[in-house]
Amino acid sequence: MIFPEKLEPGDVIGLVAPSSPVASDKIDECVVLLQNMGYRVKEGASCRKTYHGYLAGRDEERAKDINDMFADKDVKAIFCLRGGNGSVRIMDLLDYEMIKRNPKIFVGYSDITNLLIAFNTLCGFVTYHGPMVYSNMLKHYDPYTKAGFEAVLNMKEQYIFQNPPEKEINVLVPGKAVGQLVGGNLSLLINMLGTYWAPSFQDKILFIEDIYENIPNIDRMVCQMKALGIFEQIAGLLIGDFSECENEYDSNFLINEYIQDQFADLKVPVMYNIGVGHCYPTGSLIMGCDCRIDTDKKEIILKR
């Protein structure tokens, strides 16, 4: 997998909204924030648009912004404003051959999972499961989140992931494993199965996270993955944050209990309570890179 060029002070960041819209005054704040970090900002045309209420502009507009940012030689990295809904609508409108020729730092998560995985699968470069400008940096850019994000952006040979302070990584199935890191938002992963940009899970380290899903819905998604044999293909499983995932039927059977009930019989190493996802603070990961996990040390190492 190709690692894009590193981001340096004074470089241009392309700001895009592949999914849901952000209020114009908040975009102003996002631009100023990035400028105060020492970067120049090029704003995508769809960032200040709204279509059908839940999309940041028409599909063609949002796709054009991404294509244009990858084609623009001045743009060094592409940061997403937020997730939400709608990235799936632009997947057929992206110029993957051109994007493949112009690998760049691309950052987001949640609904952006479609793009993170597509650029891994179809274009051959790593992507960054990290904080988004509006969703995270504007209000929740705490020292841990900032340090972790900068560490993955500037990774040399390897990065040893550290969980947020006072949040311990839990081990469900012991062991060691090595494989390419793949995954992201569980709901998005389920929805992309069978598409041309869906990843291979064979011998991969799978990472999953989600938000606002009740336990029965999570169970349905996990059972679908089990029926497809995905958990028999992977080399290891990392379970991130499942924010506000409740069980209206039994308050004593919540996400940790569900994880222990469903994944304890896997034949590969499993760690959970990893502070990456829709949580504050949140850690960052490099999707598509080599990953080594060691449950004895509760260690997650990302490598070039």
Closest to 44 measured CA to CA, from 79, 7, 14: 14
Query: What one-character DSSP code corresponds to residue 164?
Result: P
209 is catalytic: yes
Set 19, 20, 129, 278: catalytic member: 278
Other C-beta atoms lying within 10 Å of the C-beta of residue 112: 27
Closest to 204 measured CA to CA, from 112, 297, 268, 271: 268
Structural domains of the chain, with CATH = 12-141 (3.40.50.10740), 158-303 (3.50.30.60)
87 is catalytic: no
State pLDDT tens for residues 158-168.
999 999 998 99
Q: pLDDT tens digits, the chain, 304 residues: what are they? A: 999 999 999 999 999 999 999 999 999 999 999 999 999 999 999 999 999 999 999 999 999 999 999 999 999 999 999 999 999 999 999 999 999 999 999 999 999 999 999 999 999 999 999 999 999 999 899 999 999 999 999 999 999 999 999 899 999 999 999 999 999 999 999 999 999 999 999 999 999 999 999 999 999 999 999 999 999 999 999 999 999 999 999 999 999 999 999 999 999 999 999 999 999 999 999 999 999 999 999 999 999 9
Distance CA 301, CA 295 (A): 11
Set 61, 209, 213, 284: catalytic member: 209
Q: 215-227 and 255-263 are packed helices; what angle lies between their axes, rounded to 10 degrees?
A: 20
Distance CA 254, CA 35 (A): 42
Order across the sheet with 299-303: list the strands: 158-160, 299-303, 290-294, 176-185, 205-211, 236-243, 270-272, 170-173
Tracing tokens 């997998």 back to the chain, one arrives at 1
Contacts of 40 (CB under 8 A, 6+ apart): 10, 11, 12, 13
3-state SS class at 300? strand
pLDDT at 201 (0 to 100): 98
What is the per-residue burial (b if ≥16 Cβ within 10 Å, else e) of 235-267? bbbbbbbbbebebeeeeeeebeebbeebbeebe
State pLDDT tens for residues 242-280.
999 999 999 999 999 999 999 999 999 999 999 999 999
What is the per-residue burial (b if ≥16 Cβ within 10 Å, else e) of 163-190? bbeeeebbebbebebebbbbbbbbbbbb
Set 110, 135, 187, 284: catalytic member: 110
278 is catalytic: yes
